[in-house]
Amino acid sequence: MRISVIGSGYVGLVAAACLSELGHTVVCVDSDLEKIATLNSGGTLIHEDYLQELLSRHRHHKLTFSTSIEDAVRESLVIFIAVGTPCGLNGGADLSYVESVARAIAQSTNGYKVIVEKSTVPVYTNEWVRRAMVLNGSCAEEFDVVSNPEFLREGTAVTDFLYPDRIVVGANSERAARVLHQVYAPLIDGSYAQQASAVPRPECNRSTPLYIETSAQSAELIKHASNAFLAMKISFINAVADICESVGADIEEVIQGIGSDGRIGPGFLRAGIGFGGSCFPKDVSAFRSVAHEFGYEFRLLDEVNKINEEQRQRFIKKVRAALWTLKNKRVAALGLAFKDGTDDVRESPAIHIITSLLEEGCQVTAFDPAAMERARTILGDKITYAEDPYSAAKGADALLILTEWKEFANLDLSRLKELLSYPIVLDGRNLYSPEEMANAGLNYYSVGRAPREISRLTPAKSKLAKHAAGKNGSHKSLDH
């Protein structure tokens, strides 16, 4: 089938590469000339496993790159819209890019087209796209608008696309629903996975996805509700982690206890410094905003974002409790990306925390296996960029773990202790156990667990300790 994908960002580029891997002839369009030039000259733009292989396998054959929506639309039956839907005013989704693409498509149609929403959009966007198409000259009978939300996670985007739990197609027309079924046929019938050259299926992924056909409105809501629910699960466990700290319980034990209930499940119950990325923060706000528009005050989502914001502040208080004053303190930060496995720093909790520490006068030396260049575009030379975790730790007053990269969970702790000025580790992702840190002679502060101090830096179990642990974040109390 001839397909075009408008937008070569994380979702668009992965979708284009995977659709050509399924055997379709795909043209990926972007208004950013530089991006298209890079893609046409063999570049990848984003850090995703298997993406480079798929691009080299299909580039200039099944997959081409262009800046012309017009040409792409003319030669395609299906057009996926995967442009940005950033956070707009009042937290709602800014759909101006989607509208401008719909207008451009309308002015280029030359026969029946299926327009597919791949970007995350609020409910009813399919109606707005339809309206914009007709207003810009398209004949209402000559196209259909379908919602086909993408559930891929950065870091595992290619395998999430090729081996999804479910494919959701929201179409208000039988004709369009049949076309989308054909697009995904190699995944639905499992024939793709049988191919010798297929991208290997991760063990935890289904071999064939559930194929869910709904109305366009339901599909649009499925995406927002899915992201909001996952974000809520993270904020819920972070709230429980805070209670654990107050009552001396251990969040990792609690997670095991609640996560083993099949109705709850262990997924997305990792406590830490909160969620970030280009999706959860903006989609929670956009869902809150569209629900309000349709008369429902989704206050629960306010709490989800509020807990997420508080989680970062709590971590900074822990840094203060461990280091007392922060001015001119040297801090080593491991992690800049918003999560492991990606170079994406959009809404990164790590960068939020580093920015706050810089405002408090800290000197920060950071290391990240993939996101240094993208972080430099935000932090510039306000921090020092180390070549590995150990050179970051050298001479630092404390080490902070901010992103859950697997390599940060296997560091040489005794070497770290040697390099650090003070044996202090603050772990915002609970990558270690308090025991292994204590065995390495390191004072360890994590999330949802009591501080583990080898040399009692803060008085334990006394009112003062509570104060020191940042109940009110001020240190004055310690002096008198």
Task: Report the interface residues with ligand UDX, using CB under 6 A.
Answer: 6-12, 30-32, 35, 82-85, 97, 100-101, 119-120, 150-154, 227, 230, 234, 268-270, 272, 275-280, 338-339, 404
Closest chain position to ligand UDX (CB): 9
Shortest distance, CB of residue 281 to ligand UDX, whole angstroms? 9
In this structure, are residues 330 and 365 in contact, taking their beta carbons and an 8 Å threshold? yes
Query: At closest approach, how far in Å is the CB of 187 from ligand UDX?
Result: 17
Q: Closest distance between ligand UDX and the C-beta of residue 37, in Å?
A: 13
**β-strands 330-334, 398-401 pairing:** parallel
Distance CA 353, CA 333 (A): 10
Widest distance between CA atoms in the chain: 80
**What minimum distance in Å lies between the beta carbon of 114 and ligand UDX?**
18
* Separation between Cα atoms, residue 118 and residue 157, nearest integer Å: 14
Nearer residue to ligand UDX within complex by CB, 85 or 446: 85
Residue number with CB closer to ligand UDX (272 or 470): 272
User: Which three-class secondary structure state does DSSP give residue 362?
Assistant: coil
- If the CB atoms of residues 158 and 420 are measured against ligand UDX, the closer one turns out to be 158
The nearer residue to ligand UDX, 216 or 326, going by C-beta atoms, is 216
Residue 217 and residue 375: Cα distance in Å, rounded? 37
| Residue 226 beta carbon to ligand UDX: minimum distance, rounded to whole angstroms | 7
Phi, then psi, of 473 in degrees rounded to 5: 70, -10
CA–CA distance, 402 with 224 (Å, rounded to integer) = 27
Nearest distance, CB of residue 459 and ligand UDX, angstroms: 31
Q: Residue 59 gets which letter from DSSP?
A: B
Q: Is the Cβ–Cβ distance between 316 and 353 less than 8 Å?
A: yes
Single-letter residue type at 214: T
Closest CA to 118 of 207, 210, 13: 13
Does the active-site annotation cover 18? Answer: no
The smaller minimum CB distance to ligand UDX, of residues 11 and 323, is found at 11
- Cα 71 from chain centroid (whole Å): 32
Q: Would you say 28 or 416 has its CB closer to ligand UDX?
A: 28
Kindly tell me which of 79 and 279 has the beta carbon lying closer to ligand UDX.
279
Report d(CA 304, CA 236) in Å as an integer: 8
- Alpha-carbon distances, residue 33 vs 7, 68, 207 (angstroms): 12, 10, 38
C-alpha span between 338 and 344 (Å, rounded): 6
3-class state of residue 25 by DSSP = strand
Count of residues in the chain:
480
Is 94:88 a contact under the CB 8 Å cutoff? yes
CB of 53 to ligand UDX, least distance (A): 20
Of the residues 18, 87, 244, 279, only one is catalytic, namely 279
Residue numbers annotated as active site? 279
